[in-house]
Amino acid sequence: MSSSRGVVAALLLGLLQACGGSHSDGAASGGSGPGSPGSGGAQAGGGAPSDAGTGNGSGGGAHVIGPQMAADKLDVLFVVDNSLSMGGKQQLLAKSLPRFVARLTNPLCVDDQGVVTEQPAGPTASCSSGRREFKPITDIHFGAITTSIGGHGGDICGDLQSAGHYDDQAQLLPTKRTGVASYQNSGFLAFDATGNAGVSDPAALASDLSHDHRRG
């Protein structure tokens, strides 16, 4: 999966703003002229203006950030704890994946308060009330790795490998196991609304994804 693709799920943006400029401790001779403390852009002995209080350069100040951009491409990586005690949780995850895929490819319609008004029939359908909660994602890669990364010098993996998977080496599952669905042997599943670079049916992709996670 390409690291340059846009990621839209759960994006938290922190805006850091400095608190004003610095002031000189000593007053320049001549009183409250351009060289006096707190005047901002003060000069010392006729030199170039300082950065104090200007909000630019090393003096700090707010950084201008452009508008948030919406992406129509998404990479999703599942890290699955496949220890024996998590078997039930894996089943719950597998059952929830079709709804997860549907939510990304066919977002709900909401009103101005964010209250759901309807589920459109498909990603190209219009909302009869409200608007889409976000633009439908048309290009998605789904990958999965597990927490089984070997015995770290022990012999349990060698003795019990036939009974399960104990050493997936933190690599995409289709590259380490047989019988796991993968788009063109890429190691991940791919959805592409155009059908050019992945399956175009979200339901078919969700079925493969759920099956793979039941094998964790």
Read off the tokens for 61: 């100040």
pLDDT (average), residues 190-200: 95
Whole-number percent of the chain with pLDDT over 90 = 44
- In this prediction the pTM is 0.62
Place of tokens 């996670």: 213
- With a cut of 60, say whether residue 11 has pLDDT above it: no
pLDDT (average), residues 34-38: 45
Q: Which of 46-50, 131-135, 202-206 has the weakest average pLDDT?
A: 46-50
On whether the CB atoms of residues 94 and 124 are closer than 8 A, the answer is no
Calpha distance 216→206 (Å, rounded):
16
Place of tokens 């995409």: 172
With H, G, I as helix, E, B as strand and everything else as coil, classify residue 105.
helix
Q: In what order do the strands lie in the sheet with 116-118?
A: 116-118, 109-110, 131-132
Calpha distance 173→211 (Å, rounded):
12
**Taking the domains of the chain in order of start, what are their residue ranges?**
73-214
Calpha distance 185→170 (Å, rounded):
17
